[in-house]
Amino acid sequence: MAARKHSAQAASAAALIWAALICLAGSGCQPAAERPPAPREQSASPEQPASDTASVHFTAAGDISMGGGARAVLDVIASLQPDLNIALGDLSYQAGVEQAFCDMVTRKLGKDFPYELITGNHESDGHDGDIGTFAECLPNRLPGLQGAYGIQWYVDVPQEQPLVRFILISPGIKFPGGQPLDYSPGSDRWVWTESAIDGARAADIPWTVVGMHTLCFSMGHYGCQPGEQLTNMLVSRNVDLVLTGHEHVYQRTRQLGLNAGCPVLVPGEARDDCVADADNSLAQGQGTVFVTVGVGGAGHHDVQADDPEAGLFAVWSGKNRDRALGTLDVMVTDSRLDARFVPAAGFTFTDAFAIER
C-alpha cells in the first residue's frame, strides 16, 4: 500500500520540492500553523530558578530508519513529552514508504505533535524517499515558520515572546538534478542564513539553534560537507548550538570560538586556541557547541580517538565505543540552556552540558 501511495504522490511531491526551492529566495512560503507550542511551567530546581519558569523543551535526533531502534528512540521522545522534536534528516532510508514512516511517528507521538523536518541526503534527491512527501504527511505544526519547510526555514518558539529561534538549513547535500544548494559566501542562502541569525539577536531572542543534516567536524569518517566558510560564519555569529546528523554517532564539541589566536576554524585541525571552554558549564557568547545526534535509530559508525579533530570534542559515542541510540533533550529558559543525551532502552551512554546567559 505504501509503495502504491508513493507512486500516486510522486508528481505532487516533486512539485512541492521545486516550489520550495524556488521560494527560498523570498520570505514567503509560510505553512499554516496547527498547534502552537505553549511554554512549559517548571518547578524550581538548582538548574532553573523559580523566577525563570517560562521554557521551551525540545528533542533532536537524525538518521532514523524504520526498525526497532527507531521505535525505541520514539518511545524515549514520547516519555520526555517535549514541546517539539527536530528530525535532523535521513528518515526512512527506503523509497516509497514515506506514509509508513509518518504513521510510525504519529502512532508514537500523536498526529498533531510538532515533529519538524529538515532533509537529509537520503531524501533530498528522492532516491530513498522524498522530502516533499514526508513534508505532506508530517507537516509543520509551528506558527510563524518562515522559508521552505523541510529544506530551509526558521521559526521562533513560542511565537509570542520567543525564547529560541530554530534555523534549519540544507548545505552539502544533493537535490533533484544532482546539485547541492548554494551556500557559498554572498549567495542568497548564505545571506538568508546570516540574516536569520542576526535577526534573532536584533529581536533579543535569548537563544539561537541551527540545525542541518551534514556536519563539519567529526571523529567518524565524514569531512566538512557544509563547508568551512559557512561553519565559520555560524561560529563568528556566536550561534549557541549547532545540531547535525549524518554521522551515525553521538559527539559533542567543546565550545568553539574565534579570536586573535584562532581567526578561523580549519577542518582537520584541533587547535587549543579555538577552544573557548572545555568543560560542561559554558557561558553564552564565548562560542558555539556542535552536537551530532545521528543515533535516532539507524546503525552506528565507528569513532576514532586518534582523529585529528579529536581535540575539539568533549565526548563521543559510536559503534566501537559506548554505542547508544537516543535523543538530545534540551530545555531552554531566558537564562539557561540545559542539554542531555537520553539513551533508548538497553543503552547506558549519557552526556550533559549547560550554557548560561
The model carries a pTM of: 0.87
Cα–Cα distance between 135 and 116 in angstroms, integer? 9
207 pLDDT exceeds 90?
yes
3 state SS of 242: strand
128 pLDDT exceeds 70?
yes
Is residue 227 within 8 Å of residue 175, measured between CB atoms?
no
Of 240, 254, 249, the C-alpha closest to 210 is 240
Query: Which letter does DSSP use for residue 46 in this model?
Result: T
List the chain domain ranges.
2-16+57-356
Instruction: Name, in order, each residue with C-beta under 8 angstroms of 226's C-beta and a sequence gap of 6 or more.
Output: 171, 172, 183, 212, 214, 215, 216
The predicted-structure confidence for 91-127, as pLDDT tens digits, reads as follows 999 999 999 999 999 999 999 999 999 999 999 999 9
Cα–Cα distance between 323 and 129 in angstroms, integer? 27
Architecture of domain 2-16+57-356: 4-Layer Sandwich (3.60)
Q: Which three cell numbers stand for residue 320?
A: 566501537
- Angle at alpha carbon of residue 337, lines to 274 and 245, rounded to 5°: 65
Mean local confidence (pLDDT), 230-236: 98
